[in-house]
Structure 1
Amino acid sequence: MSLLLKMLAQRIALGLLLLFLVSILIFGGTLILPGDVAQSILGQSATPEALANLREELGLNEPAVGRYFDWLGGLLQGDLGTSLTSGQDIASAIGKRLGNTFFLAFWAALISVPLAILLGLIAVRYRERWPDKLISAVTLASISVPEFLIAYVAIFFVSVRLRWAPSVTTINDSMSLGEKLHTISLPITVLTLVVLAHMMRMTRAAILNVMQSAYVETAELKGLRMFTIIWKHALPNAVAPVVNVVMLNMAYLVVGVVVIEVVFTYPGMGQYLVDHVSKRDLPVVQACGLIFAGVYIGLNLVADIVSIISNPRLRHPK
């Protein structure tokens, strides 16, 4: 087996091992959450006998280790379990919500990634001049403010004062693509502002590091335009750190979108998770947590693989 294939196999194996360890942490963490799902279902007026019977019916009195392996065995078969509060199949309920979260993350990524790379290139082209300073100041200001504050300010000015976009972003299948995009325009804008700065600054730093190479100086001596040098020579050789930071921010768009979904009442995974945390519905919380962890680990794994493949010393070890 070549060195490249060996490293790829190691990364995939480590990703699966990490997901297994995370599943243990998620299951154990949900068990120590305060509150009682039986009390949440029956209410405060429930008798001790009724609570004991419901706990027995829901399997809450079984040993934690046995419940974990039952849960893990179901996951390996594609069964996420059943909601304790509604009795619905979790996989069916999550499917639509996960699609909504991916829809929001896709459009935010489609805007933020090219824009971040373009701004990074402009910042390098006009380094230490006013475009670079302006871009850095605006992006640093956006990343320094919590996303929920940016969201509420956007709601106040754009939705309440100007009435350009709705503040409640509920979408359904009967809406056209244009109607959906208009409805989610505010959360897309907020998410773009949140992830833009990190990607732009990493792109700028990676390209500036490559610009000190000898072949870049040679290209300058040949009389090539600076933007041509940056685009054709510096950016391709800075792709590994750029891909890493892009994948980290893509993971945030899926995993860290909980706050934005709650603020805008968006019917995604984040809102679904928060609703069931308040109900102490442990199977739903566990399933959502594992899906978020899987997406995060998967995107980081993709970043590692791209970094390995983009390294010519690994592709051609001799």
Structure 2
Amino acid sequence: MFRIILTRLAQGLLTLLLASIIIFGATEILPGDVAEAILGQSRTEEALASLREEMGLNRPAIVRYFDWLGGMVQGDLGTSLATKRPVADMIESRMWNTLRLALLAAAISVPLSLALGLWSAMRAGGKVDKTLAMTTLALIAVPEFFIGLILMKVFAVELKWLSASANTRPYFDFWQNFRALALPVATLSFAVLAHMMRMTRSSVINIFTSPYLEMAALKGLPKRRLVIRHALPNALSPILTVIALNLSYMVSGVIIVETVFGVPGLTRLLVDGVSLRDIPLIQACAMIFGAVYILLNLLADVLSIMANPRLRYPK
């Protein structure tokens, strides 16, 4: 098992290295550069050349890549070319907003999807099961931004119960923070809840056909006990994998949700960096999103290995 996990870890590091090459290469082919963005249309060639020399933009790309990668490994994200501030400080001020949104959505969607999946499996074929199946299928088919706009229209514009803006302040009370965060958290939760719920239901129902479950049912054990104590533990391997994969999907989902609701998180910082051609800021934000996505996919692999006895104890 440990050899398999170490192999997955090595593959994750290689994937992250490849992602860094792609991110650096993508920023290199962006039209224009930060020197042109700073000087504007009235720039002269002499001023442009001088500013590029000052910012180190004239060095070969391969040299700048390894300098940047070495700094990343040491925790140095560089200095913003547009604001002259450390990129780490700029990201730190926005990271909490993105992290809070993702953690709240995960804390709601994971237990709720497990509970609904088990409830649906215990009533397989009934009205509750069919209703949940149709609802979750619709949620999977609808994109996140559309869900967000519908929730905003109903609860913020028509009913005026919640806020359409996700801006929060330290001096806000609980209700003000709740009104600001409820819609983006709900939108992100809906984006991942449906798939996790359907996988939980499917995995538990598949276990029901196992001989030992049929024997336990013949002994007269209550269905709730069959599901929670016998079926669920044996269905955990695919469920944990899907949960980890859907949490990694939140990386892309949080970008959309932050854009729709104007959350002052990493997404807005990334967009600002692109508009200013602020290469260090763009690279740092992209690497953070990429690293989190790769890490959560790696976590899905490790959980799948640990939950599967055939992989834990290979012959």
What's the TM-score once normalised by structure 1's chain length? 0.94
Shift of 1:80: 0.5
Shift of 1:187: 0.3
Cα distance in 2 for residues equivalent to 1:299 and 1:110: 16
Q: Does 1:27 align with 2:15?
A: no
SS at match of 2:7: helix
Is the deviation greater in 80-89 or in 222-231?
Answer: 222-231
Cα distance in 2 for residues equivalent to 1:173 and 1:13: 41
Cα distance in 1 for residues equivalent to 2:98 and 2:225: 37
What does residue 85 of structure 1 align with? Answer: 82
What does residue 48 of structure 1 align with? Answer: 45
Shift of 1:239: 0.8
Shift of 1:315: 3.8
Given the alignment, which residue of 88, 91, 94 partners 2:91? 94
Q: Does 1:15 align with 2:12?
A: yes
Cα distance in 2 for residues equivalent to 1:172 and 1:57: 38
Q: Does 1:242 align with 2:239?
A: yes
Q: Does 1:222 align with 2:211?
A: no
* 2:194 counterpart letter in structure 1: A
Tell me the percent identity. Answer: 50
What does residue 208 of structure 2 align with? Answer: 211
What does residue 197 of structure 2 align with? Answer: 200
Cα distance in 2 for residues equivalent to 1:316 and 1:62: 52
Work out whether residues 244 and 296 of structure 2, in 8 Å CA contact, stay in contact via their aligned partners in 1. yes
Q: Which digits, 9 at most, give the CA deviation of each residue in 1:247-284, with x for residues without a partner?
A: 11212224431111111111111121122112221111
SS at match of 1:35: coil
Q: Give the gaps of 5 or more residues in structure 2.
A: none
* 2:160 counterpart letter in structure 1: R
Q: Does 1:156 align with 2:150?
A: no
Q: How many residues align?
A: 315
Q: Does 1:137 align with 2:130?
A: no
Cα distance in 1 for residues equivalent to 2:49 and 2:80: 19
Cα distance in 1 for residues equivalent to 2:3 and 2:195: 31
Q: Which digits, 9 at most, give the CA deviation of each residue in 1:199-254, with x for residues without a partner?
A: 11111222222222111111111111222211111111111111111111212224
Shift of 1:81: 0.7
Q: Which digits, 9 at most, give the CA deviation of each residue in 1:11-69, with x for residues without a partner?
A: 21211111111111111111112233222212222222222222222111211100000
Cα distance in 2 for residues equivalent to 1:128 and 1:61: 67
What does residue 165 of structure 2 align with? Answer: 168
Q: Does 1:188 align with 2:185?
A: yes
What does residue 264 of structure 1 align with? Answer: 261
Shift of 1:314: 4.0
Cα distance in 1 for residues equivalent to 2:119 and 2:221: 17
Work out whether residues 148 and 259 of structure 1, in 8 Å CA contact, stay in contact via their aligned partners in 2. yes
What does residue 126 of structure 1 align with? Answer: 123
* 1:218 counterpart letter in structure 2: M
Shift of 1:290: 0.8
How do 1:273-284 residues align onto structure 2 when only pairs under 5 Å count? Answer: 273-284=270-281
Given the alignment, which residue of 284, 302, 308 partners 1:311? 308
What does residue 67 of structure 2 align with? Answer: 70
